[in-house]
C-alpha cells in the first residue's frame, strides 16, 4: 500500500528547492533549473519557467505573476504575458532563501547567513531592515497572518518570533524563547490564535506568552524543517529523518519510503497542505498524499511478560497479574501486522487517582514505583502511515504491599524501638547517677579552687590592660613628639637657616660697599634685608604656632567678631607684599557678617591664606575675598589667579607626611606649615577648610566658621 504518489515532472526525481501554494489552488514545484505548476483537480503538470544560467532557489505565483529567486542574487518577476523583469538584490554574494508577496503588494526577501530583510514596494523601491543585532542570525521563515501583519522567525538567543511594526519601521520581539534551549526556528504556522514552531530542538507551541514543547527532536534524532495544518486540524511535520502527522497535539503517525515518500528528508520551504491534500518536497522529487483516505485498522497485539532481572517468562492467567510493591516486569508487545519494525505501541496504566501513558517500540518496563493497589493495563499497536490504533489488549495489575511495609509492622517497629530505648536508657541512667554523685563532690571542690584563682587572674589582667592602654597613649604621644621634633629640626636646619644666610650676605655687602653705593642702591639693599626679615618673622611665627598646636598648649578664647574687619586688617598688613607684584586684594565680604571663634587664631589663618594667594598670584593679578552664610555657619572664600594645582597636589596640602613645597611665581619659598596651621586652627574653632583648584585655573580656599556657640 502506497500512501504517497510521486508527482512526475520532466526533471524526474531531482532535488526540490521549494514547494509553494499558489492563489489559484495549485502547487508550484521548483527544481534546480525549472518551475512547474501542478493542478490536483486536473492531475496535470505544466512547466512555467526554465533557467539556463542559474539555479532556482525559490518560486511563488501570485495574481498570475511568477516570482523567482536564483543563486546569482537576482529576483525575476514574470507577468502573465511572459514579460520578465530582473532585479539585482545584492552585489556581495549573499544568497536569497525565500520571499513573500504580501497583501499590500510588497515583496519581502530573506537571505541565508544574513539578518537583513529586504522589502520591495510596488514602485520597486528598496527598504532594508535588520532581523537581529547579530548579522549572522538569519530569519528562518517570513510569513503574513490573517490581519496582514508580517512576522519572521529566528533564534532563541535573539527572538524566535518578531513582528514588523510599521510605526517604528522595525521588527520587534513577540516571544524570546529560552537561551538554554538554543532554538533555531525553521518554519512556523499560526493556527487558532496560537503559534506553532518547527525547530532543530522539537515542535513548540506559543499560546499567549507561554511557550510549550509538544514534541522533542529526540524522535529519530530529527531536525524539524517544515510545518503545516490540514483541514482536520492535524499537524504535518517534515524533518530530516521522516514525515509525521500529529493528531490532537499528541498522537504521532510516521511516514517514510515504505509509505511512498521519494525520500525521508523533507526540505525547507517544501511542504504544502491544501484542505486534505498534502504535498511534500524531498531530495528525490515531490509527492502527494490525500489525508482524507480511510485509515486501515492495525491488528491487536500479543503481550508477553518477563521477570525484570532474570528474563524468565512471568506466569499469569485470567488476564490478571500479581506482583509485590517495588517489583517490575518487562512487557514485550508483538503485532501480526507486517512489517513489525514499523510499529509503535502505547501502554496505558489506569488506577485510582493515577493515569500514565507511554509509547514504546517493542518492549518496556513497568510496575516499579507504583503504590499498592489495583491497576488496569491497556496495550495497543499502530503501524506507521495512514493506520488506526488497534484494539487494546487489556489486563489487571494487582500490586500487593509487603507485610513489613504495612502500618501494623511499622507500629510494631516503633513500639519495639521505644522499648529497647527505654530499657537501655534506664540501665545507663543508674550508672550515670552514681558517677554523677562522685563527680559532683569533686567538681564542687575544684570549682571553688578555680573561682578563687580566676579572681586573682582577673585582677591581674585588669591591671595589665590598664598599663597597656597607658603605654599605647604614651607611644602615640611619643610618635607625635618625634614627628614634631623631626619637622622642627628640618625647618630650623634648612628653612630657617636660609633666610638668615641671605640676611647676613646682603648686610655684609651693604657694609663693605656702603660708601660706593648711591641712595637707590642702598634703598634696594635695605628692601631686600626687610623682605628677608619679614620672611624669617613669618616663618618663625608659623613655626611657633604649629609647635604650640602640636603640644596642645594653645588655649582657645572664642568671641563674636566681624569677619570683614579681620580680612581688612590682614589685607592692610600684607599690602606691601602684594604691591611687589602689583596684586590687588578685593575684599567683598559682607560688612555685617559676625562669627564666633578665636580672633587671634583666625587672624593667623587669614594671614597665611592671603600670603599663599599672593605667593602664587601672577604679576598684576587679583585676589577675591567673598563671604557666605546660612543659619548656623558663615565664612569666606579666597580666590587667586595663580597656576592652580592638580588633584594629587590638593590631596597633599594638609598632610605632614606627604608635604611637598612648591615655589611661588617669583620663586618665593616656604615650609608648607602655614596651610597646616590654617587647617588645625580652623578645625579647633569648630570650622572647616576646603580647597578647589585645577591646573591653569587658580585656587579657591574656603573657610567656614560657626556664627554662635554650639550650646546656644
Q: Which of 620, 671, 320, 316 is nearest to 489 (CA)?
A: 671
Give the CA-trace dihedral at 178, 184, 188, 193, to 10 degrees. 0
Closest CA to 141 of 176, 117, 172: 117
Residue spans per domain, the chain: 5-293, 297-401, 407-495, 555-706
Distance CA 201, CA 693 (A): 64
DSSP 8-state secondary structure symbol assigned to residue 425: H
Residue indicated by cell numbers 535573539: 158
In the numeric block, the cell 513577540 is attached to: 174
Q: Are 284 and 263 in contact (CB under 8 A)?
A: yes
Q: In sequence order, which residues have a C-beta less than 8 Å from that of residue 372 and are 6 or more positions away?
A: 325, 399, 400, 401
**CATH code of domain 297-401:** 2.60.40.10
Q: What is the pLDDT of residue 55?
A: 92
According to DSSP, the residues that pair with 76 across neighbouring strands are 68, 86
Class of domain 555-706: alpha beta
Burial annotation 495-527 (CB, 10 A radius, 16+ → b, else e): bbeebeebbeebeeebeeeeeeeeeeeeeebee
pLDDT means per 10 residues, the chain with 712 residues, are: 81 84 94 92 92 92 95 92 90 83 94 90 92 78 93 78 92 68 83 91 88 77 87 88 79 79 90 90 91 68 88 81 90 75 83 77 88 91 77 91 72 85 87 86 88 88 89 82 64 56 73 81 76 65 62 77 93 87 94 92 91 91 94 94 89 69 70 80 92 92 89 52
Return the CATH number of the domain spanning residue range 5-293: 2.130.10.10
Single pTM value for the model:
0.48
Find out whether the peptide bond into 545 is cis, omega within 30 degrees of 0.
no
d(CA 45, CA 64): 17
Specify the pLDDT at position 180: 46
Residue 283 carries which DSSP code?
Answer: T
pLDDT of residue 13: 65
Contact 675, 621 (CB under 8 A): no
CA–CA separation, 666 and 583 (whole Å):
12
Number of H helices, E strands in the chain: 8, 45
Cβ partners under 8 Å of residue 606, min gap 6: 566, 567, 570
Straight-line distance from the first to the last Cα atom of the chain, in angstroms, rounded to the nearest whole number? 109
Q: What sign does the dihedral 336-338-339-345 (CA atoms) show?
A: negative
Amino acid at each position: 500500500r502506497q500512501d504517497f504518489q510521486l508527482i512526475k515532472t520532466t526533471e524526474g526525481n531531482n532535488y526540490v528547492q521549494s514547494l509553494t501554494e499558489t492563489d489559484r489552488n495549485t502547487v508550484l514545484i521548483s527544481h534546480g533549473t525549472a518551475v512547474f505548476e501542478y493542478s490536483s483537480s486536473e492531475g496535470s503538470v505544466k512547466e512555467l519557467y526554465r533557467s539556463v544560467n542559474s539555479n532556482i532557489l525559490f518560486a511563488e505565483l501570485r495574481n498570475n505573476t511568477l516570482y523567482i529567486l536564483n543563486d546569482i542574487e537576482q529576483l525575476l518577476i514574470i507577468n502573465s504575458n511572459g514579460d520578465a523583469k530582473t532585479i539585482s538584490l545584492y552585489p556581495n554574494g549573499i544568497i536569497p532563501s525565500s520571499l513573500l508577496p504580501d497583501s499590500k503588494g510588497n515583496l519581502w526577501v530573506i537571505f541565508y547567513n544574513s539578518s537583513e530583510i529586504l522589502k520591495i514596494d510596488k514602485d520597486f523601491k528598496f527598504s532594508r531592515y535588520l532581523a537581529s543585532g547579530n548579522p549572522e542570525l538569519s530569519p528562518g521563515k517570513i510569513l503574513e497572518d490573517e490581519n496582514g501583519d508580517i512576522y519572521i522567525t529566528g533564534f532563541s538567543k535573539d527572538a524566535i518570533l518578531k513582528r514588523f511594526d510599521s510605526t517604528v519601521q522595525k521588527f520587534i520581539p513577540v516571544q524570546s524563547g529560552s537561551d538554554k534551549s538554543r532554538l533555531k526556528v525553521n518554519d512556523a504556522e499560526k493556527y487558532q490564535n496560537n503559534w506553532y514552531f518547527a525547530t532543530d530542538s522539537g515542535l513548540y507551541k506559543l499560546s499567549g506568552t507561554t511557550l510549550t514543547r509538544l514534541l522533542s527532536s529526540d524522535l529519530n534524532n530529527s531536525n524539524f524543517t517544515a510545518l503545516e495544518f490540514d483541514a482536520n486540524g492535524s499537524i504535518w511535520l517534515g524533518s530530516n529523518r521522516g514525515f509525521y502527522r500529529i493528531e490532537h497535539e499528541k498522537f504521532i503517525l510516521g511516514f517514510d519510503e515504505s509509505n511512498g515518500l521519494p525520500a525521508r528528508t523533507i526540505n525547507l520551504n517544501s511542504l504544502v497542505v491544501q484542505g486534505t491534500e498534502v504535498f511534500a518536497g524531498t531530495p528525490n522529487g515531490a509527492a502527494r498524499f490525500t489525508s482524507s483516505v480511510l485509515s486501515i485498522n492495525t491488528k491487536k497485539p500479543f503481550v508477553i511478560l518477563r521477570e525484570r532481572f532474570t528474563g524468565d517468562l512471568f506466569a499469569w492467567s485470567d488476564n490478571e497479574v500479581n506482583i509485590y510493591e517495588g517489583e517490575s516486569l518487562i512487557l514485550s508487545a508483538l503485532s501480526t501486522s507486517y512489517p513489525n519494525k514499523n510499529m509503535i505501541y502505547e501502554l496505558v496504566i489506569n488506577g485510582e487517582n493515577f493515569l500514565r501513558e507511554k509509547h514504546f517500540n517493542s518492549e518496556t518496563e513497568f510496575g516499579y514505583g507504583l503504590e499498592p493497589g489495583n491497576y488496569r493495563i491497556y496495550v495497543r499497536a499502530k503501524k506507521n502511515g495512514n493506520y488506526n490504533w488497534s484494539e487494546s489488549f487489556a489486563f489487571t495489575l494487582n500490586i500487593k504491599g509487603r507485610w513489613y511495609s504495612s502500618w501494623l509492622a511499622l507500629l510494631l517497629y516503633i513500639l519495639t524501638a521505644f522499648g529497647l530505648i527505654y530499657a537501655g536508657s534506664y540501665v545507663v541512667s543508674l550508672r550515670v547517677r552514681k558517677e554523677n554523685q562522685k563527680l559532683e563532690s569533686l567538681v564542687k571542690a575544684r570549682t571553688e579552687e578555680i573561682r578563687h584563682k580566676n579572681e586573682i587572674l582577673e585582677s591581674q589582667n585588669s591591671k595589665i590592660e590598664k598599663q597597656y592602654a597607658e603605654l599605647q597613649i604614651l607611644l602615640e604621644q611619643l610618635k607625635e613628639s618625634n614627628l614634631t621634633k623631626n619637622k622642627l629640626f628640618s625647618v630650623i636646619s634648612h628653612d630657617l637657616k636660609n633666610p638668615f644666610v641671605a640676611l647676613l650676605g646682603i648686610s655684609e655687602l651693604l657694609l663693605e660697599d656702603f660708601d660706593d653705593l648711591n641712595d637707590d642702591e642702598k634703598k634696594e639693599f635695605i628692601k631686600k634685608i626687610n623682605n628677608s626679615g619679614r620672611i624669617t618673622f613669618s616663618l618663625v611665627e608659623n613655626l611657633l604656632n604649629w609647635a604650640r598646636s602640636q603640644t596642645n598648649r594653645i588655649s582657645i578664647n572664642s568671641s563674636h567678631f566681624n569677619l570683614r574687619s579681620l580680612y581688612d586688617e590682614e589685607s592692610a598688613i600684607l599690602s606691601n607684599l602684594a604691591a611687589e607684584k602689583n596684586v590687588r586684594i578685593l575684599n567683598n565680604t559682607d560688612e555685617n557678617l559676625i562669627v564666633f571663634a578665636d580672633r587671634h587664631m583666625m587672624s593667623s589663618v587669614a594671614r597665611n591664606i592671603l600670603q599663599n594667594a599672593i605667593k602664587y598670584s601672577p604679576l598684576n593679578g587679583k585676589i577675591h575675598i567673598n563671604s557666605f552664610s546660612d543659619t548656623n555657619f558663615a565664612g569666606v572664600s579666597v580666590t587667586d589667579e595663580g597656576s592652580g594645582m592638580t588633584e594629587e597636589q590638593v590631596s597633599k596640602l594638609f598632610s605632614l607626611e606627604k608635604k611637598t613645597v612648591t615655589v611661588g611665581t617669583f620663586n618665593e619659598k616656604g615650609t608648607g606649615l602655614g596651610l597646616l596651621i590654617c587647617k588645625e586652627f580652623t578645625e579647633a574653632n569648630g570650622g572647616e577648610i576646603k580647597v578647589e583648584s585645577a591646573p591653569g585655573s587658580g585656587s579657591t580656599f574656603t573657610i567656614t566658621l560657626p556664627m554662635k556657640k554650639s550650646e546656644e
